[in-house]
Chains A and B, each alone.
Chain A
Amino acid sequence: MTQRTLELTVDGVKVSVPEGATLLDACRKAGKDVPTFCWAANLTPANVCRICVVELGGARTLVPACSRKAEAGQVVQTDSPRVHLSRKLVLELLGSSVDMSLSRDFQALSKRYGARPERFGNKAARAEAGARDAAHAGHHHPGDGAQAATVGQPVKVDNALFVRDYEKCMLCYKCVEACGTDAQNTFAIAVAGRGFEARISTEHDVALDDSACVFCGNCIGVCPTGALMFASEHELRAQGRWDESKQTVTDTVCAYCGVGCVLSLTVQDNEIVRVTSPSDSSVTGGHLCVKGRFGYGFVKGG
């Protein structure tokens, strides 16, 4: 059966995409660089970061390229003044409230769009441990506006394998999707709370050990901001010893079972510091289990 194709116009260029394609597919086919944070090839579009918005002829508002289906005859602009302004503001809003320092995409985009998060003032001091988890929907402490509220809080370290640094969480929903129906079907975490106090949480914020978490680490694999991180990487960074210039990445096949998952081992100073899997791997789709992700101690004869 031949697939029907649709023709639409992106920045004045006609492109054809198969039926069912998104505007993001069409924009990429037209060679346009439409940025994304919350989108990933191996996850359902969450459609929440809004950095991918484009201007669609006839639409009242901008539309998210990542999830909007392409239709024949659409006229799309990827770099109009409205698109530029919204993307700049999205970057500024993120930059002023979240620690985006580990996102290279964020740094590059901030330059491209001239984002200045400091326009919203100096960042407020980070919250004490547990305070954001205690928030009650619909209630917040009204401040005097002198400082910009942030999601700042101490790192959650409650297990030996990975840490959760929610100061870096931009709430892209990717970890929830990977933990749920898009990969693991474990449902250990969900979005809790509401509004600016919305957060990723286990039930009642219990420690991961006490939750349904199976430590597959697939949430780490999809996190775009470094909020979820191998404990090994977190420690090296804390000691100031994390050095990407000294790292190599080696692809291999997991030795534990017969599935044959592709592992990408990041090695620094002859130590494995991170294990991932390519998101385009036909075997894993980027997802692993606890053994492949964390069970590498034996490599050093441990």
Chain B
Amino acid sequence: MDVRPTAPPPTEDERRAVDAALGPPDAEGPVTASEARARRTHLLPALRAVQERLGFVSEGALGYVCARLGLPPAEGYGVASFYALLALGERPRAFAHVCDDVACRAAGAERLCADVEKSLGPAFSAPHRADPGQPHPKTAARWARSPCLGLCEQAPAALVTVAGAAPVEQAFGGATVDKVRRALGGEPVEPLPCTLGGAGPRRLLARAGVVDATSLDDYRRRGGYEALRRALEVGPEAVLREVTDAKLVGRGGAAFPTGRKWDAVAKAPVRPHYVVCNADESEPGTFKDRVLLELDPFSLVEAMTLAGFAVGAEQGYLYLRGEYPLARRRLENALAKARARGLLGGDVMGRGVRFELELRVGAGAYICGEETALFNSIEGFRGEPRSKPPFPVQAGLFGKPTAINNVETLVATLDIVREGAAAYASVGTAGSPGTKLFCVSGAVQAPGVYEVPFGTSLGALLALCGGVKGRLRAILLGGAAGTFVGPEALDLPLSFEGARAAGATLGSGVVLVLDDSVDLRDQLRRLAAFFRDESCGQCVPCRVGTVRQEELLARLARGAPSGSVKEELQLLRELGQAMRDASICGLGQTASSAVESAVKLGVFEGKP
């Protein structure tokens, strides 16, 4: 490899930031190719460390990171420029990300953005013109618009980062200009408490809001680590059997049977095995995993340890989205305490089982919630999905058999292992046993996370939230990649089979309620903009298709179709079909799903 460093030497500040993430540099000498391969996984943590300290990833810092890792600078730049939370041009150290996505939009995000603009000046937007060779000039902008921050129940929301030696990151709902300004000044702004509710047994939310989320002792007093203890007693085969018998399927959106996934990894002859938790919750309208991580972080640490034991993995990675600073602090605390007490490490619970768990924090990329993109992100590559097959259970993280699960899925296994599959299936439907978390936001009296048995009707769920505010126009089920349903769907049973039969999807559990004061055409244009922004750019159908979809919806939203509305809708259908059929991954394959379902609700009939 011919690595020619061209960047200016790092400043003292840049060097300190990088060394803090990578450790002190070794004795001088070039990094060998095999060392470089092993070090690449530290790329994103190093870039994040620089961003947190300097407020942007400078040329000198990126050059130094690449030199330390033995990485070609072009590749380091390719990765750094992939993430929305990494700035490549200098900008103020205190910076606000104001959400203008679907849920916040329905809660007046545009008004908030206008107020913020009045107070802080124009939002960041990539410069129109730059000197070649200097593509990322300094900006004075102090804020930017953001996709969904996962605080939909307290919309509108903002994330404020203040870079420095002791960086401060705060995400909060109920956002106002005043709160944003205070956070920019480094003052603490408390997030609002999330309403927790439901019907039937509380399993996933049993401890949330009750337990001291920072105390391992309190966690254990409330049943914590009983599941892992039982797992260690009965052995991995029995654990796999219980999870399979419980018919647990993935709660991240794809609904793949967890037992089958774990079994395949456990049986894979190639070693080592890995377990990965996908906590990159970024589907617009989704916030259940955030609430679990903030309020009951030890449960995920326990569940991942249990999963590692079941599939024969000694190393786990927990990939958390970069926009969840409180969850990050809670998890860091939980990991440190679990380690200190022998619940992680070389001898878990004194039973001779080895399990290490590492927290990785994303940097603003919805696509990294796609499992293979997530692996690439951990490995230090661009978050581009891989072609499947091979599937993660065969060749996942670092090319090894990997069990990757969503937060809620993992936490659900605790109850299954502790109480048994039969007890787990005592509620729910035959096809979808157990309970499910729903993220209810928008026009209901009490937005929040609700745990209900599968099969509960949509209308019953909304009743638990105090009912709909205003006149119900549409409900977005399953997230941006989900489907809109109309008021006639209130009888829809919330189970995988029930949703499927109705041509809808539960997705990640999003129930975003829109009343008739909301401009649905504008919401669809925002959804389309989201997919355009979040496409990784690899494949043609998604990279260009999401642009064309947004342009088409922009035309329809302002009542200026090219030709007739009918012709536009025909083009939209063809575009959707090609994206669904020919895109590499789920992002492109579902980018038109919500839009096409809205067409069926008659959104484009009549005047805008």
Q: Which residues of A contact B (CB under 8 A)?
A: 47-51, 53, 61-62, 64, 67-69, 82, 85-86, 88-90, 93-94, 96-97, 119-121, 128-131, 133-149, 156, 158, 170-171, 185-198, 201-207, 210-212, 214
Contacts and interface: CB of A to CB of B under 8 A. Distances in A.
B211 to A, nearest CB: 35
A191 B133 contact: no
Contacts of A204: 7, 59, 62, 77, 88, 133-136
B536 A195 contact: yes
A137 B81 contact: yes
A189 to B, nearest CB: 5
A197 to B, nearest CB: 7
Contacts of B540: 48-51, 90, 93-94, 170-171
A153 to B, nearest CB: 10
A194 B535 contact: yes
B537 A196 contact: yes
A13 B382 CA distance: 40
Given A203-B73, A204-B134, 12 more contacts: A48-B584, A133-B132, A133-B135, A139-B126, A140-B533, A141-B125, A190-B74, A194-B537, A195-B537, A205-B134, A207-B132, A212-B2
A137 B536 CA distance: 9
Contacts of A67: 387
B125 A139 contact: yes
Contacts of B132: 129-130, 133, 156, 158, 205, 207
Contacts of A203: 6-7, 62-63, 66, 73-74, 76-77
Contact of B87 (A119, A136, A147, A196): A136
A82 B541 contact: no
8 contacts: A62-B582, A82-B581, A171-B537, A195-B537, A201-B77, A204-B77, A204-B136, A212-B72
Contacts of B575: 89
A61 B582 contact: yes
Nearest to B7: A203
A90 B550 CA distance: 17
A62 B62 CA distance: 39
Most B CB atoms within 10 A — which of A130, A135, A186, A210? A130
A201 B582 CA distance: 26
B203 to A, nearest CB: 32
A192 B571 CA distance: 30
Given A121-B551, A137-B364, A194-B365, A61 B581 contact: yes
Give the residue among B127, B131, B133, B145 with the most A Cβ atoms within 10 A: B133
B74 A143 contact: no
Q: Which 6 A-B pairs have the closest CB atoms?
A: A198-B537, A138-B84, A145-B554, A187-B72, A89-B578, A190-B78
A212 B130 CA distance: 22
B552 to A, nearest CB: 6
A228 B208 CA distance: 57
Given A119-B571, A146-B560, A211-B74, A196 B88 contact: no
A49 B539 CA distance: 6
B81 A144 contact: no
A50 B541 contact: yes
Counting chain B residues whose Cβ lies within 8 A of the other chain, the interface size class is: 35 or more
B56 to A, nearest CB: 11
Contacts of A62: 581-582
A64 B386 CA distance: 12
A131 B130 contact: yes
Nearest to A60: B589
B83 A137 contact: yes
Contacts of B541: 50, 86, 89-90, 93
B468 interface: no
A149 B547 contact: yes
A205 B81 CA distance: 11
Contacts of B76: 203
B534 interface: yes
Contact of B78 (A64, A120, A131, A201): A201
A201 B552 CA distance: 30
Contact of B544 (A93, A144, A146): A93
Given A137-B83, A187-B1, A97 B78 contact: no
B543 A136 contact: no
B580 interface: yes
B31 to A, nearest CB: 13
A191 B550 CA distance: 24
B351 interface: no
Nearest to A172: B540
A202 to B, nearest CB: 5
Given A89-B578, A144-B555, A149-B547, A134 B136 contact: yes
A205 B135 contact: yes
B129 to A, nearest CB: 5
Contact of A206 (B133, B136, B550): B133
B73 A195 contact: no
B548 A93 contact: yes
Given A61-B580, A89-B578, A138-B364, A143 B544 contact: no
Interface string B535-570: 111111101111110111111001010100000000
Given A201-B77, A203-B74, A85 B577 contact: yes
Contact of A145 (B4, B134, B537, B550): B550
A97 B519 CA distance: 30
Interface in B239-278: none
Contacts of A189: 74
A53 B582 CA distance: 7
Contacts of B75: 187, 190
Given A128-B128, A139-B533, A85 B578 contact: yes
B96 interface: no
Contacts of A130: 129-132, 134-135
B409 interface: no
Contacts of B578: 85-86, 88-90, 93
B187 interface: no
B114 interface: no
A97 B547 contact: yes
A121 B562 contact: yes
B354 interface: no
Contacts of A207: 132-133
B583 interface: yes
A275 to B, nearest CB: 22
